[in-house]
Each structure stands twice: as C-alpha cells, then as structure tokens.
Structure 1
Amino acid sequence: MSGVMQGKTASHLRYEGVVFDLDGTLVDSYAAITECYNHACTSLGQPAVSPETVRGLVGHGLESLMEDAVGPAQVVRAVALFQERYDVICEERTTLLPGVAGTLPRLAAGGLRLGVATNKPTRFAVRILRALGLMPPVRAVLGPGEGIPPKPRPEMLLKVLADLGVSRRQALYVGDMEIDIETARRADVDVWVVPTGSCSRSQLMAASPDVLLGEFADLPRLLGARPAAGTDRS
C-alpha cells in the first residue's frame, strides 16, 4: 500500500539522514515488555495485565510506564525489577518487524545516514539492534538519560542528528506513535509514521504526520533508495 502524503510530494524530498523510533517501528518488543512489566507489578502486589493493555501503555519511557502502574512511591523499585528481567530476555524476545531487515541496508546503500532515537534506555536499544543485525547500518543510537530527557522533548532526536552530522532540514524521523510526531515537530524535523505499533492509522492521521506509510517497506521507493547488493528487498 502506498504512503499517504500530507502536504509533501515524495519525489521532491532530499534527505541525508533518517532517524527511527525503535519499539513498534523497527522491532516488536511487546512480548518482552509485557513479561517484565508484569514481573515488576506482581512483585509489588499489583495485578498482571494482558499484552494488549501493555501495548497501549508503552512509548513514554520506562519510568512513566512503571509509575502509572505502581505509583510514585514504588517506581524506583519497579524500574529496577523491570530492568533486571529485561536484561535477561530483551534479545531473545524481540523480533524485527516486517520489511525492516531489507529496508535499512537499502537506505544505507543509497547514502542515507541512519540513527535511532528511542525512549528505551540506550544500553538495551544498542543490545537489541546488535543482536538483530542492525548495527550497522544504524550508526547512532540514543535513549533518555545523562541530560537527555525522554520524547516528546526534542533533545534526543537533535543529538542523534548531530552525531550523524545531519541538519534538521535534511533529516527525517520515522516512528509509529503520536509522541513521535510531536517530537519531530518540536525538533522542526519532517516526520513519517508507520501503523505497526501502538497507534491505529486513524490516530496517526489525526496527528498530521507528513507521510503515513502503508508499510515499512515503502520507504526505499519513496526515498529513492537503490537495492543493496545481497539483501532481501522485502
């Protein structure tokens, strides 16, 4: 399915770098997040919830996720419990979303510099990307911490662009949630979204991205990327 344009024509776009969100955009990590969320909650006397419930809660950072579940008095302990379990299972219980494995090498082969800006802690994001064979082509990864606030604040996205050597006018951010659209708007960066995460197509359309993709694999065609030798074009 073709992407839906909102005020831009793909053939006129000339980007030098593309930064991606992680969960729901590049990877499906909902099983791992649900297991760790429920581990933390039940350890602190709160009920477990369904994967569908957790899917609707993620995207705003771990501290926010756990504070909503257990309250501010127990959030530090809840985050520690979550991370202890996630440290064990994050790689084995996270998978690439459809089209990602073939798309990122094609974008990199076309000369685009690729990065990730995510509300997941950086160390976990890097481990997952390496385990799934995405570093390279991904060259810069950043999550919240050490003076970098979580999205929708724009500092994280702007720091990744600086690390890539790409100006905001030559950059594209690709995500799957309304918070990604807000982050890009605050950073004054173009934003495309794909409906593979926590938000429906109608929710994403209502948030007015520049482009709503039909599927992730639409990216090379819309960005004019050539095939990468030896890679799957799906």
Structure 2
Amino acid sequence: MRRPVRAVVFDLDGTLVDSWRTHAHCLRFAAAAVGVGRPSAVRLFGAQRPTETGTLRELVGPDQLVPARQAYEEALRAALATDPVSPMPGAVAVLAGLRRHGVAAGVCTGRSRLTAQALLDSCGLAVPLTVASDDVARPKPEPDALVLALARLSVDAPDAVFVGDSAWDAAQGTAAGVRTVVVGASGPPAALGEGAWLLDPLPLPEESAERGGARAGRAPLRGER
C-alpha cells in the first residue's frame, strides 16, 4: 500500500522557475568578464552541469571561477531588476494545491542560496524551505541536499516526492530513496534510471498531490517504488 505524501520537494530551474534565458545571459556576461569570450548557444548548453558552480567552472575554468561567479551574480541582479523571471506554467497552481491539501513544499537546487532566493523573489514564488548547493558538501546529483531538505521538513523519504526536470534530478531523488517525478525532460527516458516517473510538464492534476505525483494512466519508467 502506497504511503500518503507528506511533502513535495522541487528542483528550481526549469521545474518551478522559467530561468533559462536569464541564466544564459548571465553566463555569457560572466564569460566575457573574465576574458573567455561570449559562448555560443551550443557551448552554453554543453557546459551545463548539475550545479551552478559546476557550470561556471566548465565554462571558464577553475582559475577564473571566483571572478566569474561575482560577474554572474552582478549580471543576475541587474537582469532581474529590469526583466523578472516567471514561474513555470502550472507552478503557482501546484504549490497552492499542496497548501490546500496540507502537504509541505520545499526547493532543492544546484544553485547557490543567493541566486536561488533571487529567482524565487523575482517571480513571487513563496516556498517555505530552500536547500541550495552551498548547504551541503556533496551537491546534486548526490542525495545530500535532498536528504537535508527532508530532515528540515521532518519527513521521511518514503513519505515524500521529488519533482525535477533532468536526469541529474532523477539520480538525486532515487539515491535519496524518494519517489521521483521528472517533468518535461528533453533526454531519453532510459537516461532517467530506475524508479523515476516521466510526466508531461506542469500543471499536474490536484489529485496527484494525494497520489504521490503520478498522473493517472502513466506508468513509472521502471521499478515503481
């Protein structure tokens, strides 16, 4: 018998917040600021890593990481001041539905705490808990940040659902022993690994909060928990 869901933890970028355009702009600004030059769209996409720090390191190299991070944060502040990011379609409704059902919500992200909070504030999403990459020694795709989020929510892994948009999120969720839902992933389902559900993008039906996030009629990719 499936245990009831007491908490849903979300990835941030591409799951709750539509941030790619702003993220790409800030990465280009940071690369140019440290003399690497403005990367192409292909280069930007190929440089993406599970954490913000990892992406910057891949883009500019370890020696330029600190000034690149400073430039990225400067660009993000300026961009959000004039062009706020938006919630992903359905995110506001899903969070409201969880509140109505008494289900706790949190964010577990590969971003730094500073940039994660800036994005949440920009799009007006109020989430009670955020665990960022700088809160743990081993960030995404390791399970540590998600385990910490559940501990702070006082919820056991079998009573939670993790929602993300990438194979890295699937790896993190399954490693933490959490039922994992991947929405709108662009890669092949096989890349998501065991125990992850692949769903269409948000919004999810309200009753999914009660059923653990799995949409009616959609089977898990493999190995339903």
Same topology, TM > 0.5: yes
Query: Aligned pair 1:143/2:132, yes or no?
Result: yes
Of the three residues 171, 188, 191, the one matched with 1:206 is: 191
| 2:151 alignment counterpart | 162
Aligned residues: 209
Q: Residues 182 and 198 of structure 2 are in contact (CA less than 8 Å); yes or no, is this contact kept in structure 1?
A: yes
Alpha carbons of 1:17 and 1:146: their partners in 2 closer, same or farther (altered >3 Å)? closer
Structure 1 position 23, deviation (Å): 0.1
Q: Residues 136 and 145 of structure 2 are in contact (CA less than 8 Å); yes or no, is this contact kept in structure 1?
A: no
Query: Aligned pair 1:110/2:101, yes or no?
Result: yes
| 1:63 alignment counterpart | 53
Report which stretch shifted further, 173-182 or 210-219.
210-219
Structure 1 unaligned runs (5+)?
1-10, 226-234
TM-score, scaled relative to structure 2: 0.83
Q: Matched residues in 2 for 1:165 and 1:96: separation?
A: 27
Query: Aligned pair 1:16/2:11, yes or no?
Result: no
Q: Residues 17 and 123 of structure 2 are in contact (CA less than 8 Å); yes or no, is this contact kept in structure 1?
A: no
Q: Matched residues in 1 for 2:171 and 2:209: separation?
A: 22
Structure 1 position 221, deviation (Å): 3.1
Task: State, as a whole percentage, how many aligned pairs show the same letter.
Answer: 28
Alpha carbons of 1:178 and 1:46: their partners in 2 closer, same or farther (altered >3 Å)? same
Which structure has more RCO (C-alpha within 8 Å, separation ≥ 6)? 1
Structure 1 position 43, deviation (Å): 1.9
| 2:202 alignment counterpart | 216
Q: Residues 25 and 194 of structure 1 are in contact (CA less than 8 Å); yes or no, is this contact kept in structure 2?
A: yes
Structure 2 unaligned runs (5+)?
212-225
Structure 1 position 224, deviation (Å): 3.4
Q: Residues 85 and 122 of structure 2 are in contact (CA less than 8 Å); yes or no, is this contact kept in structure 1?
A: no
| 1:179 alignment counterpart | 168
| 1:127 alignment counterpart | 118
1:163 aligned partner, one-letter code: R
CA RMSD of aligned residues (A): 2.2
Q: Residues 193 and 211 of structure 1 are in contact (CA less than 8 Å); yes or no, is this contact kept in structure 2?
A: yes
1:207 aligned partner, one-letter code: L
1:139-176 CA distances to partner (integer Å, 9 max, x unpaired)? 11010115443201211111111111111110110000
Q: Matched residues in 2 for 1:58 and 1:17: separation?
A: 28
Q: Matched residues in 2 for 1:13 and 1:220: separation?
A: 17
Q: Residues 84 and 123 of structure 2 are in contact (CA less than 8 Å); yes or no, is this contact kept in structure 1?
A: no
1:14 aligned partner, one-letter code: P
| 1:232 alignment counterpart | none
Alpha carbons of 1:67 and 1:130: their partners in 2 closer, same or farther (altered >3 Å)? closer
| 1:95 alignment counterpart | 86
Alpha carbons of 1:215 and 1:134: their partners in 2 closer, same or farther (altered >3 Å)? same
| 2:219 alignment counterpart | none
Structure 1 position 90, deviation (Å): 3.7
Structure 1 position 177, deviation (Å): 0.5
TM-score, scaled relative to structure 1: 0.80
Alpha carbons of 1:53 and 1:104: their partners in 2 closer, same or farther (altered >3 Å)? farther
